[in-house]
Amino acid sequence: MTEFRVRPIGRVSSELASRADAPRQGDEGAPDAALLIDPEASAGLAGLAVGDELIVLTWLHEADRAALSVHPRGDRDRPAQGVFTTRSPDRPNPVGLHRVRVLAIDGASVRVSGLEAIDGTPIIDLKPVLGAIDER
Amino acid sequence: MTEFRVRPIGRVSSELASRADAPRQGDEGAPDAALLIDPEASAGLAGLAVGDELIVLTWLHEADRAALSVHPRGDRDRPAQGVFTTRSPDRPNPVGLHRVRVLAIDGASVRVSGLEAIDGTPIIDLKPVLGAIDER
């Protein structure tokens, strides 16, 4: 099947330096971080406001794209599961899905709450949280 | 910045033939549809069960990737907004985010509820809904 090219729109700036440091989900003690949006894409931020909830899609560039099954939470005592039933970063297309809140906006730098992506992770999209779709 | 290659893991089979037919969100009258997962990726479905809630990530292959601002819901009487504050399919990396429920599983064909993607839309990832992250 056809392949598609993902062109990052920016990258994460975070105190998390490696996968070993990163919590598994944003609500497991992840630090605040900055989304540094590239100048070519920053017009896409128009209308964004402090307090907004966002879904950040990242490309988990250190993932193992050959993985189709994983042991949940890396625990080899638990039976392996298909990757599509887990949130493991290791999967054919390692898109990370992160829900955050906008804390501050300074030009094309967006400060957000609790993001478990490591420093330098490419950002590929930002979407508003829609209550009716994402919350119920 | 580096580009990445997305390799679809399957495609949507739907009665929706074109963007003109598709509702804007899955809860706006979208039909049930099938996720046809490619044989090379189908091992990733292991453990999936009827009733599970899934996030389906698609590649909206008909999108305008040059768009950085859009009129909400295509209404030119409304002021344009940055694409990252909207769910428009037109955006630099046109990843579609769809929340569905698994209705039936037949091998690598997964029947799901209310999916607004058109027939043939490439699927790039499936993730389980995590209550703590996605629902609150």
Q: Which residue of B has its CA nearest to A68?
A: B44
**Residue A32: other Cβ atoms inside 10 A:** 15
ipTM for this prediction:
0.90
Q: Is residue A114 assigned to a domain?
A: yes
Tell me, what CATH number does A102's domain have?
A: 2.40.30.70
The model carries a pTM of: 0.91
Half-sphere exposure of A128 toward its Cβ, with a 13 Å CA cutoff?
Answer: 21
> Per the CB < 8 Å rule, is B5 touching A1?
no
Q: Which residue has the higher pLDDT, B66 or B20?
A: B66
Contact A111, A46 (CB under 8 A): no
Output the pLDDT for position B33: 97
Output the pLDDT for position A46: 96
Q: Is residue A69 assigned to a domain?
A: yes
Q: Is residue A126 assigned to a domain?
A: yes
Q: Is residue A68 assigned to a domain?
A: yes
Output the pLDDT for position B83: 97
- Using 50 as the pLDDT threshold, list the residues of chain A that sit under it: 132-133, 135-136
Q: Is residue A4 assigned to a domain?
A: no
Output the pLDDT for position A136: 36
Nearest to A87 among B41, B43, B127 (CB): B127
Between strands A10-13 and A122-128, the pairing is antiparallel
Domain with A121, as residue range(s), is 10-130
pLDDT digits (tens, 9 = 90+) for B89-130: 999 999 999 999 999 999 999 999 999 999 999 999 999 998
In three-state secondary structure terms, B72 is helix
Count of domains forming chain A: 1
The owner of tokens 């090379």 is B40
Q: Provide the phi-psi class of A68: left if phi over 0, else alpha when psi is between -120 and 50, else beta.
A: alpha
Output the pLDDT for position A133: 47
For residues B17-40, give the mean pLDDT: 84
Q: Is residue B81 assigned to a domain?
A: no
Determine what percent of chain B is predicted with pLDDT higher than 70: 91
Q: Is residue B30 assigned to a domain?
A: yes
Output the pLDDT for position A134: 52
Q: Of A85, A83, A86, give the one whose Cα is nearest residue B49.
A: A85
Output the pLDDT for position B133: 47
Rounded CA-CA distance B130/B108 in Å is 23
Rounded CA-CA distance B72/B79 in Å is 8
Contact B72, B120 (CB under 8 A): no
Q: Is residue B115 assigned to a domain?
A: yes
Nearest to B95 among A61, A124, A132 (CB): A124
Nearest to B126 among A3, A84, A132 (CB): A84
pLDDT digits (tens, 9 = 90+) for B2-14: 899 999 999 999 9
> Per the CB < 8 Å rule, is A128 touching B5?
no
